[in-house]
């Protein structure tokens, strides 16, 4: 099989897939869950329950408050104790619904059986409605509401559905495990999304360092009645799983600055999202669970885990279930080491897009002294978006906001390739991330003013 990859930049960090052989285990339920209303891109959901209400697992407790928003459901059965602000992963206050867990009784109409349903009988509109009502969001990192992404604006047409099975971040193995353990469900989810998009071809891209997943998905596809899906091997190269990088690799098309994937005929979804779509459409099951990796070099082999978790579970509880935080863990990351964020609060709870607890040692997190830029160009060579990070850094230092926009800082995908490749140890990603947010705020304000 020919191995595809993107055409600009990229790096090759060590895989460190220590937990790849750990089967998915179901995480026990804690005594209390705290369900955030802000666990998707866009406007937070609005609570539709009150203190004292009895709720069932799968029952709606938050409804969308805008076009870009999503339903939120109870992950357990129990009693609502409070509806109040609570600190999230970064320590920011967000509205949470606190539920005392009193069992695991599910709402009526949700199919929890393991029976595989391959026949797709619902109409396009019915499938979109089920995905919307199930609160499905993108599980590759962005958590964009899936029903919106699968319903392109009039005049736009999907020519290819690309399914991201790259999992190019070091350490993470949850997507790898669901491709091994739930291959057929993922592929039925892909077929559902194909039908919604008008029966366009679908490509499932998996990096070459996961041959078991490529084999498992290929074998599953051969046993299913779908002919317009292809399993595609991708070269091991970070950030192979980036949306625009996948489009470049599979379709050989580039999304212009400020453009969306649909502008070149592409729709990109993650393998975990495909699984959630299957459960929403074929099982009427809302998105209240996902798979999370617990890993790190300082974590003994017998404590590496891939957990099937419910949303709203405190991270401290998950850590305890895997034997506690290692003594030599200096930092805990949510996500991978390249694009993940440090966890400021272990009492924060899981959200739909949670993907890992990654333990890093002091040696792994210690930053070397920053040196002077020597104009070597390595950061530019590594940037998969074709940006010039050294130039952006200079413009940041001089406060040239207009220059930052003109040099497309808003196109940065925050992958960290520049920081990884810089021999002078300049914190390029940190500076660019902060200034990008400033420029994006200016762009949004300008667009809003033009609408008035």
Summarize pLDDT for 349-363 with one digit per residue, the tens.
999 999 999 999 999
Tell me the average pLDDT across 150-155.
92
Token pair for residue 191?
A: 């077929």
**322 confidence band (pLDDT: 50, 70, 90):** very high
Q: How far apart are CA 348 and CA 91, in angstroms?
A: 8
The pLDDT value given to residue 452: 74
Largest CA distance in the chain: 64
Domain holding 267: CATH number? 3.40.50.11540
The pLDDT of residue 199 is above 80:
yes
- CB neighbours of 176 closer than 8 A, spacing ≥ 6? 17, 20, 167, 210, 212, 213
Does some domain include residue 251?
yes
Mark which of 250, 283, 316 sits at the end of a domain.
283
**450 confidence band (pLDDT: 50, 70, 90):** confident
Tell me the average pLDDT across 108-127.
97
Token pair for residue 396?
A: 């940041």
Domain check: are 392 and 276 in the same one?
Answer: no
What percentage of the chain exceeds 90 in pLDDT?
Answer: 93
The pLDDT value given to residue 184: 98
The pLDDT value given to residue 201: 98
Across all residues in the chain, what is the average pLDDT? 96
Quick count: other Cβ atoms within 10 Å of Cβ 200? Answer: 18
Domain check: are 148 and 251 in the same one?
Answer: yes
The pLDDT of residue 191 is above 90:
yes
The pLDDT value given to residue 72: 98
Mark which of 237, 259, 283 sits at the end of a domain.
283
Write the DSSP assignment of 195-240 as a string of letters.
HHTTS--EEEEEETT-HHHHHHHHHHHHTSS--SEEEEEE-S-BTT
Does some domain include residue 24?
no
Higher pLDDT pick, 447 / 168 = 168
Q: Which domain holds residue 169?
A: 124-283
In total, how many domains does the chain have? 2
What percentage of the chain exceeds 70 in pLDDT?
Answer: 100
Does some domain include residue 323?
no
Does some domain include residue 113?
no
The pLDDT value given to residue 263: 95
Does some domain include residue 371?
no
The pLDDT value given to residue 222: 97
The pLDDT value given to residue 439: 96
Mark which of 229, 250, 283 sits at the end of a domain.
283
Domain check: are 382 and 276 in the same one?
Answer: no
Does some domain include residue 8?
no
3 state SS of 264: helix
What's the whole-model pTM score?
0.96
Q: How far apart are CA 152 and CA 287, in angstroms?
A: 22
**448 confidence band (pLDDT: 50, 70, 90):** confident
Domain check: are 279 and 382 in the same one?
Answer: no
Does some domain include residue 232?
yes
Tell me the average pLDDT across 386-391.
97
Strands (DSSP E) contained in 4-126 are 24-26, 32-36, 46-47, 54-55, 60-63, 72-73, 77-87, 93-103
The pLDDT of residue 451 is above 90:
no
Beta strands 289-295 and 356-360, pairing class: parallel
The pLDDT value given to residue 369: 94
Does some domain include residue 133?
yes
Domain check: are 132 and 277 in the same one?
Answer: yes
């Amino acid at each position: 099989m020919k191995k595809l990859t993107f055409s600009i930049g990229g790096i090759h960090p060590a895989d460190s897939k220590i937990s790849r052989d750990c089967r998915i285990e179901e995480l026990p339920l804690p005594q209390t869950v705290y369900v955030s209303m802000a666990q998707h891109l866009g406007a937070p959901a609005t609570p539709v329950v009150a203190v004292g209400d009895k709720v069932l697992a799968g029952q709606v407790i938050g409804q969308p408050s805008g076009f870009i928003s999503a339903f939120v459901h109870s992950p357990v059965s129990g009693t609502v104790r409070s509806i109040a602000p609570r600190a999230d992963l970064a320590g920011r206050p967000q509205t949470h619904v606190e539920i005392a867990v009193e069992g695991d009784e599910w709402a009526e109409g949700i199919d929890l059986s393991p029976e595989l349903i391959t026949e797709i009988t619902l109409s396009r509109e019915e499938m979109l409605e089920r995905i919307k009502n199930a609160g499905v969001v993108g599980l590759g990192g962005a958590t964009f509401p899936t029903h919106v992404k699968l319903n392109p604006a009039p005049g736009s047409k999907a020519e290819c559905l690309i399914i991201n099975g790259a999992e190019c971040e070091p350490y993470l193995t949850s997507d790898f495990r669901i491709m091994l353990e739930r291959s057929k469900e993922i592929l039925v989810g892909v077929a559902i999304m194909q039908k919604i998009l008008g029966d366009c071809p679908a490509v499932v891209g998996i990096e070459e360092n996961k041959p078991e997943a490529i084999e498992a998905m290929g074998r599953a596809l051969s046993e299913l009645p779908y002919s317009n899906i292809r399993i595609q091997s991708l070269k091991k190269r970070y950030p192979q799983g980036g949306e625009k990088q996948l489009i470049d690799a599979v379709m050989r098309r580039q999304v212009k600055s400020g453009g969306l994937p649909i502008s070149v005929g592409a729709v990109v979804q993650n393998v975990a999202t495909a699984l959630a779509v299957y459960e929403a459409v074929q099982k009427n099951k809302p998105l209240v669970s996902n798979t999370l990796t617990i890993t790190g070099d300082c974590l003994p082999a017998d404590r590496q885990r891939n957990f099937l978790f419910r949303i709203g579970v405190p991270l401290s509880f998950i850590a305890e279930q895997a034997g506690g935080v290692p003594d030599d863990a200096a930092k805990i990351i949510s996500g991978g080491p390249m694009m993940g964020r440090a966890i400021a609060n272990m009492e924060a709870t899981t959200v739909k897009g949670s993907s890992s607890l990654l333990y890093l040692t002091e040696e792994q997190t210690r930053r070397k002294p920053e040196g002077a830029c020597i104009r070597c160009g390595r950061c530019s060579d590594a940037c998969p978006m074709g940006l010039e990070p050294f130039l952006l850094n200079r413009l940041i230092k001089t406060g040239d906001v207009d220059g930052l926009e003109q040099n497309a800082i808003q196109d940065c995908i925050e992958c960290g390739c520049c920081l990884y490749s810089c021999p002078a140890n300049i914190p390029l990603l940190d500076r660019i991330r902060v200034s990008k947010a400033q420029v994006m705020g200016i762009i949004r304000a300008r667009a809003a003013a033009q609408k008035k």
